[in-house]
Amino acid sequence: MKLFKIYSPEDFQTLPWRNGLGSTVELISESLEGHEAFSWRLSIASVANDGPFSDFSGYDRTLLLLEGTGITLNNPNGSSIELNSPLDCAHFKGEDLINASLHDGPIKDFNVMTLRSICSSSVTAINEKSEPLIQINAEKLLVYSLKPIKIQIGLEPSINLKANHLLQFDYYINNTMILDNTQAIVIQINYSS
């Protein structure tokens, strides 16, 4: 019996942004029984214009640049984060009134959102120069491939993942994971006790 699932782009769904200014491709989300809102979600958004981010109060957000020349996330508290190169990463709260400024044309970004009262995430961007061995300690482990990738966890058989596919493990993992030289985003999710 396989203890993992692989999702292809055909499995993803497009949803409108809360602020009505665009759409996002939801790769996967999870809602706990009795909760209407999602407890965590992975998505990819295309951003074509400067403007405000949607309000996701109560969530922690991680955003990684996938394509384009860059974006600056302006926080009303005066701080700003620049994402200039692929897989540059920003962390912020969903209630922060982020206003985005594109550097030179549209971008595509990868989003991880976790409802902080229920769970938290650790996000690792992998590129050709990254250390291929990662320590995993997660109740949910997800790997999104930007290029074809081979994944090895402990002594388990390796898994080949095509580009732009998502791998989800359905069991707690406390082990090492080895990725061949490629580009991927590794998401570890743990639940509050």
Q: What is the CATH number of the domain that holds 173?
A: 2.60.120.10
- Res 1 pLDDT > 60: no
Whether 45 and 92 share a structural domain? yes
Cα distance between residue 111 and residue 62, in whole Å: 6
The reply to whether 108 and 132 lie within a common domain is: no
DSSP state of 68: S
80 and 135 housed in the same domain: no
Residues 46 and 105 both lie in one domain: yes
- Domain end residue (candidates: 118, 146, 168): 118
Same domain, 187 and 126: yes
Domain end marker among 98, 118, 138: 118
pLDDT in tens, 86-115: 999 999 999 998 999 999 999 999 999 999
What are the two backbone dihedrals, phi and then psi, of residue 11, each rounded to the nearest 5 degrees? -85, -15
pTM of the model: 0.92
Specify whether 52 is located in the same domain as 103. Answer: yes
**Domain encompassing residue 150:** 120-191
pLDDT of residue 106: 92
What CA–CA distance (Å, rounded) separates 39 from 115? 5
pLDDT at 67 over 80: yes
- Give me the number of domains the chain comprises: 2
Where does a domain end: 118, 142, 176?
118
